[in-house]
Amino acid sequence: MGKGLVVTINAGDFWKWDFFPDVKESRGMYADLWSQLVQWMVTYAEFLPGESGSLKLSPAAVRPGEPIRAIIQFRPGTTANPEVPLLRIRNSEGEVVLELQPAVNTADSNRRDAFFTLETAGDYLADVLDPETNQPITPRVALRVLPPPTETDNPDADPDFMRRLAEQSGGQTVTRETLNDTVETLRPENRVIPLERAIWQPFWNRAWLLLLTALFFSIEWFARRRGGLA
Quote the CATH superfamily of domain 53-145. Immunoglobulins (2.60.40.10)
What is the pLDDT confidence band of residue 43, given thresholds at 50, 70 and 90? low
Task: Decide if pLDDT at 44 tops 70.
Answer: no
Rounded Cα distance between 92 and 104, Å, is 29
Give the pLDDT of residue 230.
Answer: 58
Tens-place pLDDT, residues 164-209 = 888 888 888 888 888 888 888 778 777 777 777 778 777 777 888 8
Give the pLDDT of residue 160.
Answer: 86
Give the pLDDT of residue 1.
Answer: 47
pLDDT greater at residue 94 or residue 41? 94
**67, 58 contact by CB (below 8 A):** no
What is the pLDDT confidence band of residue 91, given thresholds at 50, 70 and 90? very high
Find the mean pLDDT for residues 83-95. 87
**21, 32 contact by CB (below 8 A):** no
Which sequence spans correspond to the domains of the chain?
1-45, 53-145, 160-187
**165, 158 contact by CB (below 8 A):** no
Which of 26-30, 65-69, 70-74 is least confident?
A: 26-30
Q: Nearest CA to 133 among 94, 95, 86?
A: 86
- What average pLDDT is seen over the chain? 80
Any residues with CB less than 8 A from the CB of 211 and at least 6 apart, and which?
none
